[in-house]
Structure 1
Amino acid sequence: MVHPLPRFRPMGDRSILVELGDTISPDVNRRVQQLMLQLRQAPLPGVREIAPGYRSLLGPDLEAVADHLSISTDEVIRLHTETIYRVYMIGFTPGYPYMGELPAALAVPRRSTPRTRVPKGSVGIAQRQTGIYPVESPGGWQIIGWTPLELFDPLRQLPSLLEMGDRVKFEAVRQVEI
């Protein structure tokens, strides 16, 4: 595969932006990871497990996603939990992990009308990505689950629980376990 040359852009007086591609993809993410490793000279953390609840009460779009894909809600849950995701970046809100790559069989569009309020801990999917809302915020992703995990705490030494490059595996739990 031919890789575009990195682009270096000034970002204020103390930093630069290094662009390694124009798309969000596993290949571009691997290139970013290689650069990070070289800069930090340290290995990345291992797999983190996050346990969302997959019930219509906790994932208001779960049934609509299943209907859109012509599969059962159990199949949506199975497909979402069998993949180990890579955190591509943190953004949108403090601690919000953009993760991929979602199985093609789960690729759904964003909601046509975003919600004005998505509860903290909501697990969403859109296109080929999944993410977790670390704080209550507006949002347009399809919400399929919820986790009680505290993703962002400004009082922690590292406020964001997840970092770019972390690997995340979701685990289905019953509502009584939450």
Structure 2
Amino acid sequence: MARPTPRMSDDPSLFDPRVLDPAQEIVSRSGLDDAEIDQVVEVLRSLRLWREADERMSEASRRYMKLGATDMRALRFIIVGLENGEAVTPGAIAAHLGISTASTTKLLDRLAAAGHIRRLPHPTDRRSVVVEVLDETRRAARDSIGRSHARRFDLAAALTRQQRDVVIRFLRDLAATEDDPSRDSAA
């Protein structure tokens, strides 16, 4: 039987500054003992495991629904809008996705041809249309993406308020590291 291909997240040394940067040219380990470094490495490895799992779940949902990533984002936006009683227009979809109106038209044509959406006259603006997701697509999205989101929500809800505050702060600080790498070398 063939061995599965190891994933990057399976090798903790890929996250260990003692291996990656032994001279501490980039990552300072001052004030941390080996046990603390091991724990930091495990945090980074766990984030990678989560990211890989999230990518696999997203890919499985897209395959199940036979859609690309942008199409799935559009459907999610439309479903959320409809669930909140909003009239979802092609312009709103374009703005949400950050794509041109021409690209949005092609996207909506694809989704309509595949039987996922329909365009209807806007209830108050004769010059516009609203986009609705068909019931079968809504059910499929709920069964795939919705159930995964519910499990994630339950895990976050099981944390204490203080634990959630720590996680929120950590993840926001982590997201803020998305700086222009050229700024670090220019400083």
Would the TM-score normalized by the shorter structure come out above 0.5? no
Greater relative contact order (CA < 8 Å, ≥ 6 in sequence): 1
* Largest Rg, 1 or 2: 2
Q: Taking structure 2 as the reference length, what is the TM-score of the superposition?
A: 0.24
Q: Taking structure 1 as the reference length, what is the TM-score of the superposition?
A: 0.25
Higher strand share: 1
